[in-house]
Amino acid sequence: MYFIALLILVVHLGASTTFARPGQPPIVHTGLGSIRGAILESRLGRQFYAFRGIRYANAPVGQLRFQPPQPVDAWNGTLDATEDGPMCPQPALDQSDVSEDCLRLNVYSSVIPGENVRIAPRDVLVYLHPGGFYVFSGQSKNNAGPQNLMDQDVVLVTINYRLGSLGFMSTGTKDCPGNAGFKDQVMALKWVRDHISAFGGRSDSVTLMGYSAGALSNTLHMVSPMSKGLFHRVIVMSASGVSQVQIPTDQIHLAQKQATLLNCTTADIAEMVDCLREKPASDFADTLADMFVLSWNPVLLWTAVVEPDFGQERFLTEDPTESFLKGDFVKVPVIAGITQDEFAGPAVSFLRNDTLRNELDTNFDKLAPVLFLYDDYPNRLNITRQLREKFLGDEPLSLNRSLQGLNYLFADSLIGFAVHRFVQLVSPHTPVYQYKFSYVGRYSFFYYPDDRTPYGAVHHDDLLYLLSIPSVAPIFNATDPESKTVERLTGMWTAFAKSG
């Protein structure tokens, strides 16, 4: 096992930029049709090409809802890919930016092949976004801006995949076998394999980079028979698919809960799924909050499932832990790690809210197994009492007394244990570079409520130095104190994408 020290200076690898048609909107030609993009500017002023909102699968609507994605049809003329496509259905302030026709991806490259232009193909980073499998997207304007990484010599791909019940509902029957969102990711990776050369990328050098739900996805791709041969390195940031959660063959209880919320029958599974296919996609987004037990918990509600065999191509054929234990996985180089303070936000939110704090205090035996993801364990009551004694003690919960312990409980149960277990399982078989991100800049996903200073290096904070997330932080210029961390992190990640 190898360890990355985040304080080691990484030499910035600059390069000149070659444009196929200087100053003009770029057009690439793929086997599906021609695509027009836009010219954008990186964090340090380097021009690059952006092709956004490209369909990689047909819209999963009507009878295709809850089913595996279907390859996108070829088109005539030139596809306009100058703006982001819509997010997959989720609660959003701007519902005009949300659509079930959301299976889109973005491609960014500072060089593309052109007439009389010869370039050396570049390594590819494919980013799978976080969001618990129910929110966020690969859009450049919201959660996955390319400006930081485009100062490096790499081709970046960001994707959307179906979310919530639309992406991960599973009934254990052929009506809805599950894992549709993961199969979307596989379809996107096949698109990259088949078409990334048109954008200057190497189809034989693809690195999966995922955060939280995206990282969990990446570890599952390592054991999925559907994903073999589609990637060559993996970056696992703050999650994995081998946690204390036991992977089921279905989540029929969630399907039935969704059906009840949308006034569909639960007596007959086929009729229930047919009814849910007829509901507007917005209904699923509008009822998302009601799917959770308490205040958007458990954070990991939908999971992968080990699909029963109905003759379909299955994303998972056995529990991922079993696959890793047997050494039955794609043995590629791995980066894996966590942030220093991970899930401080939920801990503070519970402790500062009198209602939530009292609810957790009074019903800890009932709620802890749900919040900390061991509700299906037969000895959960004994586990709960040990956790309470170890992390929180017998005194009533309070912000000052309980914050550190509750933070550790959330961080270890949702992130830390899963990443540690993943590293232990794969490191005997393949190189693993493990890290802990502890840099605290001026911006964060979570601040102390009283003085608006960052709590620490919390969940998602390291993303601010890899991608542009305008709702949380500006794009850092060369003189900002965060600039060196941007250079180091993007430099290390892209160096790994090139050589492992």
Domains of the chain listed by start with CATH number: 2-248+301-342+432-499 (3.40.50.1820)
Catalytic residue among 342, 402, 413, 444: 342
Residues 6+ apart with CB under 8 A from 316: 179, 220, 223, 224, 247, 304, 305, 306, 307
pLDDT of residue 15: 34
Confidence at residue 117, expressed as pLDDT on a 0 to 100 scale: 67
Q: pLDDT by residue for the chain (500 residues), tens digit each?
A: 444 444 332 333 333 334 455 668 999 999 999 999 999 999 999 999 999 999 999 999 999 999 999 999 999 999 999 999 999 999 987 888 999 999 999 999 999 887 556 789 999 999 999 999 999 999 999 999 999 999 999 999 999 999 999 999 999 999 999 999 999 999 999 999 999 999 999 999 999 999 999 999 999 999 999 999 999 999 999 999 999 988 999 999 999 999 999 999 999 999 999 999 999 999 999 999 999 998 888 999 999 999 999 999 999 999 999 999 999 999 999 999 999 999 888 898 899 999 999 999 999 999 999 999 999 899 999 999 999 999 999 899 999 899 999 999 999 999 999 999 999 999 999 999 999 999 999 999 998 877 889 989 999 999 999 999 999 999 999 999 999 999 999 999 999 999 98
Chain segment 191-224, per-residue pLDDT in tens: 999 999 999 999 999 999 999 999 999 999 999 9
CB 294 within 8 A of CB 369: no
Q: Give the residue among 161, 163, 157 at the shortest CA–CA distance from 144.
A: 157
Catalytic residue, candidates 42, 140, 205, 212: 212
pLDDT recorded at residue 17: 37
Q: Would you say 402 and 353 are in contact if contact means Cβ atoms under 8 Å apart?
A: no
SS3 207: strand
Q: What is the pTM of this model?
A: 0.93
What is d(CA 32, CA 28) in angstroms, rounded to the nearest whole number?
11
Determine contact, residues 103/184, Cβ cutoff 8 Å. yes
Residue 314 neighbours by CB under 8 Å, 6+ apart: 177, 179, 225, 226, 307
Active site residue 459: yes
Known active-site residue 278: no
Q: Which of 320, 313, 309 is nearest to 70 (CA)?
A: 313
235 contacts 214 by C-beta, under 8 angstroms: no
**Is residue 39 a contact partner of residue 20, using CB atoms and an 8 Å limit?**
no
Q: Is 342 a catalytic residue?
A: yes
Closest Cα to residue 230, out of 200, 201, 195, 204?
204
Question: Whats the size of the chain, residue-wise?
Answer: 500
Give residue 14's pLDDT: 34
User: Is residue 363 within 8 Å of residue 290, measured between CB atoms?
Assistant: no
Per-residue pLDDT, 12: 33
How far, in Å, CA of 464 to CA of 470, rounded?
Answer: 9
What pLDDT score was predicted for residue 87? Answer: 97
Query: Which is catalytic among the residues 205, 459, 468, 487?
Result: 459
